[in-house]
Amino acid sequence: MMRQKTTSMSAEDCRDPGRGGWSRWLLAALGAVATVGCYSPAAKFELNKIAIHKRELENEATFSQQYQLTPIAKILADQFGTPDEPKLPNVPGIEDFLDLEKLKMAAGPYGSDKDGKQRGLYRQHCVHCHGINGDGAGPTAAFLNPYPRDYRPGKFKFKSTASGLPPTHQDLKRIIEDGAAGTAMPSFKLLSEDEIEALTQYVKYLSLRGEAELYMIEAQFGDLYPAVMKPADKRNEEEQKYVAELSPEEIEEEKAEFLEEVEFFESEENIVDEVIGPIVDKWLDAEEEVTVIEPKPEMDIHESIEKGRELFFSSKTGCAGCHGESALGDGQTAEADFYDDWTRFYYDPSDPSTLEGYLALGALEPRKLRPRNLRQGVFRGGRRPIDIFWRIRNGIDGAKMPAAPPIVTDEEIWHLVDFVRMGLPYDPLSENEPHQPENLRERN
């Protein structure tokens, strides 16, 4: 009884710590120390500052708070709610994609609501790595390599669909259940089926929300040039020059056009038809796009491994180019400038001058990507033959591992699967990633 009270403090307890006498209060206070959220301010979804900064550099203009950023934040709050109270966006058919009851189980502070329903799974299990808005930059993230996934671009690595498509529900569920071996992403197999389902739903929710936000920042609101809408002292040099060349009539005309655009972007019609609807459709379509695989041919395993070996070192596949003659991940094609897409979003190794600005906004220090050392027998995306088949057939999105060329047949991919699983000397001591100075981080 006592234990139950301290470990599962409810949101109700937070609001009314005095209820039930002093002993209850004491227990509640103890619980507050152990849980997150109670006496801290309500959790907030912050806007994607990195995407905003990037668009501002491209536009050579800063966003208008009043006419661009505030409306984006409002649309997102209207459609998706808050980290404590999620909502389903007002899109027809959304129920096929997300289940509000499950989202509520994952959202909010850890504990249970007034009806005793479980809440806060995401904050209990994921937030310290993946962040409250799914940006992959929670407090633990800076110490990890690879970094936790930023869900907001809607891009995932370990899935059964072709390159460029979203993962299926089952793909996400599997990675949450099994984790990603060799990375900090843990397995959550010990959670109940319902809990895993709730977390899977919540990842999709954060991803959908993040993609919608990105779209509004990179297109739509981000395509508007706000100089005329700003008070003179808020314009940067470029914006001032621009406005100085306009006649008063032209300024009025531009203002009217700007407001008309904003009004359209804010309309539910636009939000459904052009922003959220297409993203939901893309995810729903992906459910039907699982890569179909010819069954593994019956063949002597040694023979298959040998065929795989030949293919691995052939120009037809190009595998050794990246993974190296020794498969240690040190091939010629693996360049010094290998960074994954999540990093490339804000970091261009050929022009590092803008990096400082992004780091100041909370971007993580860029870390190099390496083709995998295949001699450690570690497969992040799962070690079942079918997982490895999907990796080789479709590549790994966002991480420079290309899909096998179409001339490579399914049968040949099976040989490659056999080769990487069983044809390489096991070499646990060969370090893939020596601890480079760039991976060390000063504590502050």
Residues that bind ligand HEC (CB under 6 A): 125-126, 129-130, 140, 144, 146, 148-149, 156-159, 172, 175-176, 180, 183-186, 188, 199, 203, 312, 317-319, 321-323, 333, 369, 371-372, 374, 379-381, 388, 391-392, 396, 399-402, 404, 416, 420
Residues 128-150 as b or e (16 or more Cβ within 10 Å = b): ebbbbbbbbbbeebeebebbbbb
265 vs 345 by CB, closer to ligand HEC:
345
156 vs 265 by CB, closer to ligand HEC:
156
6 vs 145 by CB, closer to ligand HEC:
145
55 vs 415 by CB, closer to ligand HEC:
415
If we measure between CA atoms, which residue out of 247, 240, 245 comes closest to residue 226? 240
Contacts of 232 (CB under 8 A, 6+ apart): 240, 243
- Does residue 306 contact residue 238 with C-beta atoms inside 8 Å? no
- Supply φ then ψ for residue 361, to 5 degrees: -90, 5
Task: Give, for 118, the enclosing helix (H) or strand (E).
Answer: strand 118-119
Question: Minimum Å distance from CB 108 to ligand HEC?
Answer: 15
Three-state DSSP class for residue 311: helix
The span from the CA of 132 to the CA of 85, in Å, is: 13
Question: Minimum Å distance from CB 202 to ligand HEC?
Answer: 7
**What residues are paired with 81 via a beta bridge?**
86
Question: Minimum Å distance from CB 169 to ligand HEC?
Answer: 11
Question: Minimum Å distance from CB 195 to ligand HEC?
Answer: 9
Question: Minimum Å distance from CB 417 to ligand HEC?
Answer: 8
Question: Minimum Å distance from CB 64 to ligand HEC?
Answer: 35
- Does residue 198 contact residue 106 with C-beta atoms inside 8 Å? yes
12 vs 99 by CB, closer to ligand HEC:
99
DSSP for 377-417 reads: ---TT-SSHHHHHHHHHH-BTTTTBPPPPTTS-HHHHHHHH
The span from the CA of 150 to the CA of 129, in Å, is: 10
Question: Minimum Å distance from CB 164 to ligand HEC?
Answer: 14
258 vs 414 by CB, closer to ligand HEC:
414
Question: Minimum Å distance from CB 67 to ligand HEC?
Answer: 35
- Does residue 146 contact residue 372 with C-beta atoms inside 8 Å? no
| CA 328 to centroid of chain Cα atoms | 28
75 vs 280 by CB, closer to ligand HEC:
280
61 vs 328 by CB, closer to ligand HEC:
328
- Supply φ then ψ for residue 338, to 5 degrees: -80, 110
Contacts of 119 (CB under 8 A, 6+ apart): 11, 104, 105, 107, 108, 109, 110, 111, 112, 113
CA atoms within 13 A of residue 377's CA, in its CB half-sphere: 9
What is the chain's percent helix, strand, coil content, to nearest 5?
50, 0, 45
Question: Minimum Å distance from CB 29 to ligand HEC?
Answer: 27
50 vs 320 by CB, closer to ligand HEC:
320
